[in-house]
Amino acid sequence: MESNRPVRRCGVKARQWHTFVLRSNSIFTNAVYGPRQTAYSAEVQILGRLKSCQSVPMKGPIADSGEPTLAYRDAAGRDQTLPLDRVHNQDLALAGPWRTFRWHRGQPHYSGMYWSATMRANVVYESRLELARLLLADFDRAVVTIVAQPFQLSARIDGRIRRHVPDFLLRDGTGAGTVVDVKPAGLLAEPTVARTLAWAGELIEARGWRFEVWSGCDGVLLTNVRFLAGYRRSWLFSEDLLNEVLAAVGDGDTIAAVERRLAPRRQARTVRPALLHLLWRGEFTADLHQVLGGTTTLRRPRERAA
């Protein structure tokens, strides 16, 4: 039996799906380990900024009668298995990755760990595409918890036990959860992938969680967020400097204008990194679909501008 339930494909316009490939190891290193001596050739929309989503019909099997189960690894490293309808978001907040990562010569994808400012800890990923989605989640101020490979979902489908491990669970401040599957656009039409996403998405949404299938986003947006991630570590900035820069920014100022305003007391090489950190923190907003640079216009969020 098949369902025409829509599955969300987020961040990509209809008929313009693409897998964003990280094109430069130097850019990747900047995002994960910190800024290099890089020209500020970048200009970046913040908060609420990552929600351009399309829904498309995806056919797949409906779960057979029987009780779907969810298995997760708790903070103590113990495996827990419960009926799906008895699992709550808070149970999964500290879950460890379900799968064990392997690295071997010639493997077609890149696994690794990313230090998340949201989690104040490393979060694992299994591909560069997963890393891209992880960067966006870490940047989104609405996200308060990021769990990689949060659980294994099991259900009897078409008379057989099927299992699926999604890539991320994102929780916001209200406790609402979004389960994310990251898949290259080129794989979505494959029957096995399509059916797995269909039955897993059906069960996840029936549980009350949102379900997102992510295949990439605007390249400029992702490049800018990756660039800003180099300035995400709060302990590298003094609070006195951040407070001074924050007080100097008026709504509608450009980055260069703030640097000139503070020039008698602060050098631009200290002001700009502080501004970029404050952008990462969401103290200001800017157009993330334009390259970030001196002419970038900074806006204060409405609640701060009031």
Three-state secondary structure call for residue 121: strand
Q: Is 77 exposed, middle or buried (0-12, 13-18, 19+ CB in 10 A)?
A: exposed
Q: Of 171, 187, 214, which residue constitutes the final position of a domain? A: 214
According to DSSP, the residues that pair with 98 across neighbouring strands are none
Give the pLDDT confidence score for residue 200 in this predicted structure: 96
**pLDDT tens track of the chain, all 306 residues?**
444 444 444 443 333 333 222 223 333 333 333 333 232 222 232 233 333 333 333 334 444 546 899 999 998 899 999 999 999 888 898 899 998 776 677 777 788 999 999 999 999 999 999 999 999 999 999 999 999 999 999 999 988 999 999 999 999 999 999 999 999 999 999 999 999 999 999 999 999 999 999 999 999 999 999 999 999 999 999 999 999 999 999 999 999 999 999 998 999 899 999 999 999 999 999 999 999 999 999 999 876 544
Residue 264 inside a domain? The answer is yes
Q: Of 166, 183, 214, which residue constitutes the final position of a domain? A: 214
Residues 293 and 167 in one domain: no
Residue 101 inside a domain? The answer is yes
The residue type found at 16 is Q
Q: Of 147, 181, 214, which residue constitutes the final position of a domain? A: 214
For residue 92, give its domain range: 2-214
Three-state secondary structure call for residue 100: coil
Residues 105 and 238 in one domain: no
According to DSSP, the residues that pair with 7 across neighbouring strands are 56
Residues 164 and 93 in one domain: yes
Give the pLDDT confidence score for residue 5 in this predicted structure: 42
Q: Residue 73 and residue 151: Cα distance in Å, rounded?
A: 7
Neighbours of 130 (CB within 10 A): 26
Residues 143 and 237 in one domain: no
Give the pLDDT confidence score for residue 99 in this predicted structure: 83
Location of structure tokens 């489908």 = 157
Residues 204 and 240 in one domain: no
Residues 130 and 251 in one domain: no
Provide the domain count of the chain. 2
Which pair of tokens denotes residue 25?
Answer: 């190891």
Comparing C-alpha atoms, which of 113, 111, 140 is closest to residue 124?
113
CATH number of the domain enclosing 79: 3.40.1350.10
Cβ(292)–Cβ(224) under 8 Å? yes
Angle at which helices 255-262 and 268-281 cross, to 10°? 130
Residues 51 and 178 in one domain: yes
